[in-house]
A and B are shown apart, each in its own frame.
Chain A
Amino acid sequence: MAKYIVKRILLAIVTIWAVATLTFFLMNMVPGGPFLSEKAISPQATAALEAKYGLDKPMGQRYLTYMADALHGDFGDSLKQRGRTVMDIIKMKFPVSAKVGGVSVLVSLLLGIPLGCLAALKRGKTLDSIISVVATCGIAVPSFVICTVLMYFFGVKLKLLPTMGLTSLKHYVMPVMALSFYPTAYIMRLMRSSMLDVLGQDYMRTAKAKGVHGFKILFKHALRNAILPVITYVGPMLAYTVTGSFVVEKIFTIPGLGGEFIGAIQGRDYTLIMGTTIFLATLIIIMNVVVDICYKIVDPRIKLK
């Protein structure tokens, strides 16, 4: 196990380096720059700004400087948000997104797993059909539609919930609903199909023949076998969700990290693009290791190599 983790960490470093390198060159190849704007700035001012942030140097040299700084934990200043380092921005905004995202993942697990099991148990019955229809809707309807509809009904018509900000518990309700709709639907479908598979296995019959109670058969014997696909999905999904969603955060005016991903690219905020990309990549890699370890815990047949 320890050997495995060391190996994964080494591999992670290589992966992060590759992601950083690719992102660096790709973003520099995109036309435009951080200091272009509709109001014409004098060429001298632009040159001075570029010199200040080292953008006047050739790409290769900038890459080496950036990597050397990043190795020391310095991800640079934001080019657009004056006076803030990239680290500051992530430190300030990530917790906001993480709170909303974390709650959403929890909600989607707590709803998706039981509903998926239920659909599998009631296969072919009305309840199964209802759950399937809801799941299909959840996957097909884009989040901006859900956000808008939620906002219209709960915010405008019923005036039950606040439509912007994140200052009280009530504020969480709509963003969490919007964020968890798709993952809930996806988990339901995964759970249903893998549960159906497991329910047909011989060891389920053995459990029944032993005289095990229906609920215990489901929770002890079936769930642990059926949950693997859900774990696979939830790992990366968690990484994406806690780093915030551009759409949901924009619509509900949540000061989270989601907006920064898009904002940084639109503004060619090179350092912030690098920072957020590396951050997300690292999270996903960590989650994948966590998923592998969870696998091992859930299914003893899996060997970590």
Chain B
Amino acid sequence: MSKYLVDIQNERLSFFTPAGEVKALNDVSIHLEEGEVLGIVGESGSGKSVTAYSLMGLTAHPGKLLGGSLVFEDKHIENMTEKELRQIRGNDISIIFQDPMTSLNPVYTVGNQIMEAILLHTDKTKAQAKDRARELLELVGINEPDKRLKQYPHELSGGMRQRVMIAIALACEPKLLIADEPTTALDVTIQAQILELMMELKDKLGMAIIMITHDLGVVASMCDKIAVMYAGRIVEYGTTEDIFYRSSHMYTKGLIRSIPRLDTKEHERLVPIEGTPVDLLNPPAGCPFAPRCEACMKICLNQMPPKTEFDDVHYTNCWLIQKEEFEKGAQNE
């Protein structure tokens, strides 16, 4: 029995497009305990969503898992048949998508869509499922649930639709909730409400959450642990404190520097990370961040950096850190 709810080891996943093999995930390892909140941050195309989707077997065509193991509750996801996966989806693992405006089917009522998930995974009758749907709407803070059940998605606001999505995701009390940029498409005030609701529900239901986002503010306030991804790799992994106060990888540092701070002076410019993400069709031989890295060394361009572990949790993949740690070690001796 693994102590982890989710244990992804060395996952490699590629998309086989007409232009060639896009290496979306390269040796990604992530683990998550029950009730824990893990944030995955990184820029668009860094593999955040793909990592989470692959846990549900939702990798879209032409994506293909090439290696590694994905374990959920001691069951190997990568060996599951479609039928077994269907039993997990929406039941043990649920997901909330980015855009609530398009994630609900426009031609069915809210009630129908919530009840569908309940009827699929439980033995409840239609009437019981309806009661449960009403309960769920109340749980996610929607007023007049009886009226809402009969309404269509286009009759609700964006924030309400995202609440409905959360209600669908929670329908069968999942052990793991994947939130794929759940607030990106929402107004700032609604964002805060939705995040608050998610944390409230987490405490109430005790589920683990994987929070995919590029909003560092969101992870800082919500997550226990953070994985920073770049070009299909985890460049740094650690607790929230590790990442924000003891960040070591140049990319993580860059990300944190690019957030506006309360103590910045007027007209002070934010510091961007220069350059553009690498082309995953032709990934470089060395560290993928090297071309944009201020502290790039010769070795960075040619060889993949090794893992440097600071403690049980916090690690990074960077030559510079490896070198520093090595020198530190040499001094100590």
Interchain CB contact under 8 A, A211 and B88: yes
User: A-B pairs with CB below 8 Å: how many?
Assistant: 69
- Are A203 and B102 in contact, with the CB atoms below 8 A? yes
Residues of B within 8 A of A203 (CB): 102-106
CB distance from A279 to the nearest CB of B (A): 35
Distance between Cα atoms of A225 and B117 in the complex (Å): 20
Instruction: Count chain A CB atoms within 10 A of each CB in B94, B103, B105 and give the residue with the most.
Output: B105
Enumerate chain B residues within 8 angstroms of A205, measured Cβ to Cβ.
Answer: 58, 97, 103
Q: Is B31 located at the chain interface by the 8 A CB criterion?
A: no
B86-122 contacts to A (CB < 8 Å): 86-91, 94-95, 97, 99, 102-108, 116-117, 120-121
Asked whether B58 lies within 8 Å of A208 as measured between CB atoms, the reply is yes
Give the docked Cα–Cα distance between A97 and B116 (Å): 44
B152 at the interface (CB under 8 A from A): yes
Instruction: Flag whether A82 is at the interface (Cβ < 8 A).
Output: no
Taking the complex as formed, is B154 at the interface, i.e. its CB lies under 8 A from any CB of chain A?
yes
Q: Which residues of A contact B56 (CB under 8 A)?
A: 209
Residues of A within 8 A of B89 (CB): 208-211
Which of B88, B95, B121 neighbours the largest number of chain A CB atoms within 10 Å of its CB?
B95
Minimum C-beta distance from B168 to chain A (A): 7
Knowing A211-B86, A301-B154, say if A224 contacts B107 (CB, 8 Å): yes
Beta-carbon contacts under 8 Å, A271-305 to B? 298-301
Q: How far is the CB of A18 from chain B (nearest CB, A)?
A: 36
- Tier of interface size on chain B: 20 to 34
Residues of A within 8 A of B58 (CB): 205, 208-209
- How many angstroms between the C-alpha atoms of A207 and B152 in the bound complex? 16
Partner of B91, one of A211, A220, A301: A211
Which residues does chain A contribute within 8 Å of B165, judged by CB atoms? 206
State the Cβ distance, A25 to closest chain B Cβ, in Å.
46
Q: Please tell me which one of the listed residues A202, A213, A214 contacts residue B103 in the complex, with CB atoms under 8 A apart.
A: A202
Alpha-carbon separation in the docked complex, A144 to B107 (Å): 41
Closest Cβ of chain B to A223, distance in Å, is 10
- Inter-chain CA distance A214–B91, complex, in Å, is 17
Q: How far is B87's CA from A296's CA once the two chains are assembled, in angstroms?
A: 35
Task: Verify B105–A210 contact, CB threshold 8 A.
Answer: no
Contact status A300-B121, CB under 8 Å: no
Q: Cβ of B85: which chain A residues have Cβ within 8 Å of it?
A: 211
- Is chain A's interface secondary structure helix, strand, loop, or mixed overall? helix
Which listed residue (B86, B105, B107) contacts A298, Cβ 8 A?
B107
The residue in chain B whose Cβ has the minimal distance to the Cβ of A200 is B60
Contact of A301 among B88, B106, B168 (CB under 8 A): B106
Nearest-neighbor residue (CB-CB) of B91 within chain A: A211
Q: Are A209 and B90 in contact (CB under 8 A)?
A: yes
CB contact under 8 A between A210 and B117, given known A300-B152, A301-B152, A301-B154: yes
Q: In the complex, how many angstroms separate the beta carbon of A208 from the nearest chain B beta carbon?
A: 6
Asked if A212 is an interface residue, CB under 8 A from chain B, the answer is: yes
**Cα distance A33–B103 in the bound complex, in angstroms:** 64
CA distance A65 to B107 in the complex (A): 51
Chain A residue at minimal CB-CB distance from B85: A211
Q: Quick one: given A225-B107, A298-B107, A301-B154, are A209 and B94 in contact (CB under 8 Å)?
A: yes
Taking CB atoms, residues of chain A closer than 8 Å to B99 are 202
B-side residues, CB < 8 A to A, are 56, 58, 82, 85-91, 94-95, 97, 99, 102-108, 116-117, 120-121, 152, 154, 165, 168
A residues in contact (CB < 8 Å) with B: 201-203, 205-214, 220-221, 224-225, 298-301
- Other CB < 8 Å A-B pairs besides A210-B117, A211-B89, 10 of them? A205-B97, A209-B56, A209-B90, A210-B90, A211-B90, A211-B91, A211-B117, A214-B82, A224-B107, A300-B154
The 10 A-B pairs with the shortest beta carbon distances in the complex, nearest first, are A211-B89, A210-B90, A211-B90, A202-B102, A203-B105, A211-B86, A202-B103, A300-B152, A210-B117, A209-B95
